[in-house]
Amino acid sequence: MSNTTGEISMKMFTAGIVIAILASSALSTVIVTQLAVGKGFGAPDYDSGWTVINPGTNVNITHNLGTGDLLVYLYGRFRSTLGDMRWIYHQTNLGTNIFGLGDEWIQRGAQWSSDENWIVVFREYTDESWEEFRVIIWKIT
Parent domain of 77: 46-139
- Average pLDDT taken over every residue of the chain: 76
Residues 131, 70 share a domain = yes
CATH number at residue 90: 2.60.40.10
User: Would you say the C-alpha torsion 29, 35, 37, 42 has a positive or negative sign?
Assistant: positive
Q: What is the pTM of this model?
A: 0.61
How many C-alpha atoms does 1 have within 13 Å on its Cβ side? Answer: 11
Checking if the pLDDT of 36 tops 70, the result is no
* CA R_g for the chain: 29
Q: State which of 25-34, 90-99, 111-120 shows the largest mean pLDDT.
A: 111-120
Count structural domains, the chain.
Answer: 2
